[in-house]
Amino acid sequence: MNATERADGSHPRSVPPGAADVRTPRRRKGSPRRHLTPRRTATRTGQYAALLGYLAFLAFPLLWLLSTAFKPPRELGSLHPTWIPEAPTLDNFRQAFAQQPLAAAAGNSLLAAAVSALLAILLATPMAYVLARVRNRLSRAATGWVVISQAFPLVLVIIPLFLILKGLHLVDSRIGLIMVYVVWSLPFALWMLTGYVRAVPRELEEAAAMDGAGRLRTLVSVTAPLLAPGIVATALFAFITAWNEFFFALVLLKSPEKQTLPVVLTHFLGAEGVADLGPLAASALLATLPSLLLFAVIQRRITGGMLAGAVKS
């Protein structure tokens, strides 16, 4: 049987084998319609209700942020706040941009996040391939170490890391920050990508080799396209980790012109938890937009990629 042929003899559609098809299967012509029994109906209703509740739980902070960003100060001090601002205003956005260099900070965050995500992918992809394809004691130990490295909390590494970067004159340097972001996201990226590589059937590569393709050709033309959803999902993970990261940026960057968005957002906070709530909400809303947009644009690919990494071929 050809490696790309299914067990039932049918041929795959254009969905790559690495990406699971999450669409609901179409009902075949002529097959009997499945009637829902009352019990199944109740179960399904309960499932949807639970899903709705979970979605509301997830969406609440974002919707509240959206609402707060457009509220004037008097509505922020109301004991009975409304979801929809009674007198919506853009003053919070104007004030936020007037007070702090949000655009420059967003540029810094974008640079750090994009470069670190790119580097993490460039490093993690070949490493993941080797870890997935080469099964020996060393690869098992390396995989174990990758998993263990996730257990170290940030506070444990920050001081040694700071001293190392200080010795390399990389404190207050964008390069230093990006190096940290790459190192910080690399283990998880590696772990994710290893799963994706394992999901690509080895038989495909063997078939390519039998057709005369060299190692590099096989990797580039066969394996890489199938890994694309996984690479996109991993890159997105690395990007968002760096985009949202606060503590490293706070500790490592000193010059105001290099500060990233999460650090600049704290400038709307005063002592003892007092906050300039309107401009803070407006800025925070703007800070969440890139993540939201990225997810919206490539959500389908991510879903496929995540599922691909989750199941065995």
Partner 1 sequence: MRHDPAPGRPVTRRGLLAAAAALPAAALLPGCSDGRRRSAGGRITLRFQSLAWQQDSLKVNKQLVAAWNRQHPDIRVQYVQGAWPTVHDQLLTSFEGGEAPDIIHDASDDLADFAYGGDLADLTALIPPRLKRDIPQRSWDTGTFNGRIHGVPFLQEPRVLIANRAELHRSGVRIPTPEHPWTWPEFEEAAQRLTRGTTYGIAWPLKEPVSATLNLALSTGGQIFHRRSDGKVEVRFDTADQRVPRTIHDQVNVHRSASRTTLGMGGSDTLPGFFAGRYAMVPLGFSYRQQIAQQAPRGFDWTVLPAPKGTALDQGVSPQTLSIAEDCPYKEEAMAFIDFFLSPPNMVRLALGDWLLPTGQEALKDPALRVARYDWATGTALAASLRSAPAQSVRGYPEWKDKIATPGLQEYYSGAIGLDTLRKRLVEDGNLVLARYQR
Q: Which residues bind partner 1 (CB under 8 A)?
A: 73-74, 76-81, 95, 98-100, 111, 114-115, 118-119, 122, 162-163, 166, 169, 171-175, 178, 208, 211-214, 216-217, 220-221, 250-252, 254-256, 258-259, 263-264, 266-277
Whether residue 278 contacts residue 289, with contact meaning beta carbons closer than 8 Å, is answered with no
- CA–CA dist 185, 33 (Å, integer): 48
**DSSP result, 209-265:** HHTT--HHHHIIIIIHHHHHHHHHHHHHHHHHHHHH--HHHHHH--SGGG--HHHHH
Instruction: List beta partners, residue 275.
Output: 269
- Report in angstroms how near the CB of residue 15 gets to partner 1 at its nearest: 19
- Tell me whether residue 146 or residue 236 sits nearer to partner 1 (CB atom): 236
- Tell me whether residue 20 or residue 112 sits nearer to partner 1 (CB atom): 112
- Report in angstroms how near the CB of residue 251 gets to partner 1 at its nearest: 5
- Report in angstroms how near the CB of residue 268 gets to partner 1 at its nearest: 6
- Report in angstroms how near the CB of residue 250 gets to partner 1 at its nearest: 6
- Tell me whether residue 79 or residue 296 sits nearer to partner 1 (CB atom): 79
Whether residue 69 contacts residue 278, with contact meaning beta carbons closer than 8 Å, is answered with yes
- Tell me whether residue 40 or residue 166 sits nearer to partner 1 (CB atom): 166
- Report in angstroms how near the CB of residue 6 gets to partner 1 at its nearest: 20
**DSSP result, 106-147:** HHHHHHHHHHHHHHHHHHHHHHHHHHHH--SHHHHHHHHHHH
CA distances from 207 to 28, 69, 198, 248 (A): 32, 56, 16, 46
Whether residue 282 contacts residue 272, with contact meaning beta carbons closer than 8 Å, is answered with no
- Tell me whether residue 116 or residue 146 sits nearer to partner 1 (CB atom): 116
- CA–CA dist 174, 228 (Å, integer): 28
- CA–CA dist 4, 17 (Å, integer): 8
- Tell me whether residue 246 or residue 295 sits nearer to partner 1 (CB atom): 246
CA distances from 219 to 15, 214, 222, 305 (A): 19, 9, 6, 18
- CA–CA dist 130, 134 (Å, integer): 5
- Tell me whether residue 253 or residue 285 sits nearer to partner 1 (CB atom): 253
- Report in angstroms how near the CB of residue 225 gets to partner 1 at its nearest: 12
- Tell me whether residue 180 or residue 306 sits nearer to partner 1 (CB atom): 180
- Tell me whether residue 191 or residue 205 sits nearer to partner 1 (CB atom): 205
| Apex 72 CA angle, 69 and 74, nearest 5 | 130
- CA–CA dist 20, 88 (Å, integer): 44
- Report in angstroms how near the CB of residue 177 gets to partner 1 at its nearest: 9
Distance of CA 109 to the CA centre of its chain: 15
- Report in angstroms how near the CB of residue 178 gets to partner 1 at its nearest: 7
- Report in angstroms how near the CB of residue 124 gets to partner 1 at its nearest: 15
